[in-house]
Structure 1
Amino acid sequence: MKSKSIFSPQNPCLKSIFSTPLESLMATSLDLNDDSLCSNPQQQQTETHENSSETALLGEPRGYLSGEARVERAWGHWSKLGRPKLIVAPMVDNSELPFRMLCRKYGAEAAYTPMLHSRIFSENEKYRREEFTTCKEDRPLFVQFCANDPDILLEAARRVEPYCDYVDINLGCPQRIARRGYYGAFLMDNLLLVKSLVEKLAINLSVPVSCKIRVFPKLEDTINYARMLEEAGCSLLAVHGRTRDEKDGKKFRADWKAIKAVKSALRIPVLANGNIRHMDDVRTCLEETGADGVLSAETLLENPALFAGFRTAEWVDDGEEGNKDGLLDQADLLVEYLKLCERHPVPWRMIRSHVHKMLGEWFRIQPQVREDLNAQSRLTFEFLYDMVNRLRELGVRIPLYLKEKDSHVQGVPEDGLAN
């Protein structure tokens, strides 16, 4: 089943939106080679909803609750979703539908969309239609927005609430574009505005509000911030254990102790983000922080099978017993991803990015193949499948490794979709 756009009468399933620099989105018609969809959405067959609730908002606004009632509702919703522990983090131009579906095949239990710009989402039909996709298998799903205006945020959120399990507010983006646009982690300097954003959604939406934050340099400030969000109506909080200035994840270790302190201070579910490179990290993080789940970002881009226990050679200790060739490699994963892209069209720029992330080590062995890829002004699936075959013919194979205790990939459909 191909993905559809709810923003077209013939396309009832949501289209996927990618976070692209604001200047580019507003100044162009998204018709550059790498911005064009990897297949023609006009050729997709039309469908009808099996569930009429997908065509309307999910009931009346939730209204503001306080105290135990709010906490009970937060946990009731999280429990209804199965309390997922292994979650795909929001990633700029990289946590789109085909990639989410690939990660779900290999153990991810929930996923975030890329960050969506609430104002552009509200105003620009083309942005909505071309940049946000989902399908019925893509649940539980967090739809993430950046915003600095409560009314605009609510308008955007109401467009997606029938198709997700949380509307998430990005309060953690540390990049320069977030500084220029005044959103993400740069709202940490204006807590009254942050509170108004959360309250606006909590009072008016029929789905819960979640938030994703970074920590303050002082632990006390972080705890007070988290408590304020909970009081404002946040039903689930994801905590990235780095500060706004700690952008390089390889240089700065995430502070799990700060995440543990937040978890201890709050009564709603808390997720941990940072330092998740393989399943041993997942287990250690959950144990040390007490968090209700973990998010992974950069490592998943290189290895979408992380949550199924597979790990790259970088994270296999020399002489450690129990590691074996998992009979899976990144080229296998890339082929699966490309097949999902044929089913769920996305802009070529995203596909190009995933090719480089998954096959980075392979290209270091055969740099001429990477040069050929970079020379392509227009990509095609035929070229990419041939490129993988060429790497294999050149003798390149870098296996993903598996520990016996992490091996739980059984009964997974070949096309990467849930039954």
Structure 2
Amino acid sequence: MMASSVERLCFVQKCILAPMVRVGTLPMRLLALDYGAHIVYCEELIDIKMAQCKRVVNDVLETVDFIAPDERVMFRTCSKEKDRVVFQMGTADPDRALAVAKLIENDVAAVDVNMGCPKEYSTKGGMGSALLSDPEKIEAILRTLVNGISKPVTCKIRILPTLEDTVNLVKRIERTGVAAIAVHGRMKEERQRHPVHCDYIQAVAESVSIPVIANGGSLDSVKTFDDIEKFRVATGASSVMLARAAMWNPSIFRQQGALSLETVMEEYIKYAVRYDNHPFNTKYCLCQMLRDRVESPFGKQLHAAQTVGEICEVFGMNEYYTKDHS
């Protein structure tokens, strides 16, 4: 049964944190929300792994954890993001997708299917951008989800080699009943160095009545908060989704302007400590923020850290770490 319009997440005029592998864990999502993002997507999580998870309420951290048989936390969320987090899954199977969606639907605001990731770990199982060449399977997965869960369903695609094929695919997707569609304005063969095709996103936005979320502008178009709206206008989209620009400095979502990287990294660490984020994941995200400074003496010091306590030490945050763990 469909949720009422009051409960459903709106995808119009929104600034959105894109799904990013290893980056879109809980600390980054909460930080993006603090800085002004309206909606945050978790990293792509594979249906086969999620289907084996057990839902556990973590009273100590005040989180809901989805724990794999080997005790790894596959997905962790909390009440602060419940109404604004979108769960993105990698799937190539309608029934398995539905099983996972039913497992997590009461803890998230919407469910998204990844149809744009060109990386082998996603495509080798027929997931991600591999789905773009199988529109029947796309329809089957999306219809099954739309009809089977109470939360909005969305998907994220890349553009196809021709404008006509891209528009035709998006029209088919719209007919499944999805609430919105995110479009990365590059083909699956293209990488970040290739310019984003704003004209394709614009054509898609003009061809459907559901919200279209523009993605892919981080390298060329979006350097500041004001650039987000410029990119939205240039693509004719309803909303904008940021990946790399937000990964480098999530305070790009701040209307008042970005904060210093030092401030942002310290705020990130506080969330990582508060929610017991894995130290390697914490270090990875901090290194992404450092970018070319990762080879500096400070960057090497961070890279050498093996625990959250050691990471805090690098940043002179020993007192915060000790206080949290007392």
Task: State, as a whole percentage, how many aligned pairs show the same letter.
Answer: 29
Match of 1:111 among 25, 40, 44: 40
Structure 2 CA distance for partners of 1:337 and 1:212, relative to 1, 3 Å:
same
Tell me how far 1:194 sits from its aligned partner.
Answer: 0.9
Tell me how far 1:77 sits from its aligned partner.
Answer: 6.3
Distance in 2, matches of 1:213 and 1:336, equals: 32
Structure 2 residue matching 1:137: 3-state secondary structure: helix
- 1:151 correspondence with 2:95: yes
**What corresponds to 2:216 in structure 1?**
274
Tell me how far 1:84 sits from its aligned partner.
Answer: 5.0
AA aligned opposite 1:191: P
Deviations 1:26-46 (A, max 9, x none): xxxxxxxxxxxxxxxxxxxxx
Match of 2:277 among 328, 346, 369: 346
Structure 2 residue matching 1:174: 3-state secondary structure: coil
- 1:133 correspondence with 2:62: no
Which structure has more relative contact order (CA 8 Å, sep 6+)? It is 1
Distance in 2, matches of 1:77 and 1:123, equals: 32
Deviations 1:296-328 (A, max 9, x none): 0111111110011577xxxxxxxxxxxxxx6x4
Tell me how far 1:225 sits from its aligned partner.
Answer: 0.5
Deviations 1:57-101 (A, max 9, x none): xxxx339xxxxxxxxx8xx46986484511000000111111111
Deviations 1:170-200 (A, max 9, x none): 1011101122221000111111111100011
Deviates more, 1:126-135 or 1:176-185: 126-135
Alignment map for 1:39-118 (pairs within 5 Å): 61-62=1-2, 76=5, 81=10, 83-118=12-47
Deviations 1:213-267 (A, max 9, x none): 0000100000011000111221210111010011x21x11211111111111001
**What corresponds to 1:292 in structure 2?**
238
Q: In 1, are the aligned partners of 2:102 and 2:149 still within 8 Å (CA)? A: yes
Q: In 2, are the aligned partners of 1:143 and 1:164 still within 8 Å (CA)? A: yes
Distance in 2, matches of 1:81 and 1:271, equals: 12
**What corresponds to 1:384 in structure 2?**
311
**What corresponds to 1:264 in structure 2?**
206
Tell me how far 1:362 sits from its aligned partner.
Answer: 3.8
Q: In 2, are the aligned partners of 1:102 and 1:304 still within 8 Å (CA)? A: yes
Structure 2 residue matching 1:95: 3-state secondary structure: coil
Instruction: Give the number of aligned pairs.
Output: 298
Q: In 2, are the aligned partners of 1:172 and 1:244 still within 8 Å (CA)? A: yes
Distance in 2, matches of 1:134 and 1:80, equals: 17
RMSD value, Cα: 2.2
Query: What TM-score do the two structures reach when normalised by structure 1?
Result: 0.67
Q: In 1, are the aligned partners of 2:9 and 2:152 still within 8 Å (CA)? A: no
Match of 1:307 among 234, 250, 253: 253
Q: In 2, are the aligned partners of 1:331 and 1:359 still within 8 Å (CA)? A: no
Gap runs ≥5 in structure 1: 1-60, 64-72, 312-325, 391-419
Bigger Rg, structure 1 or 2: 1
Deviates more, 1:131-140 or 1:166-175: 131-140
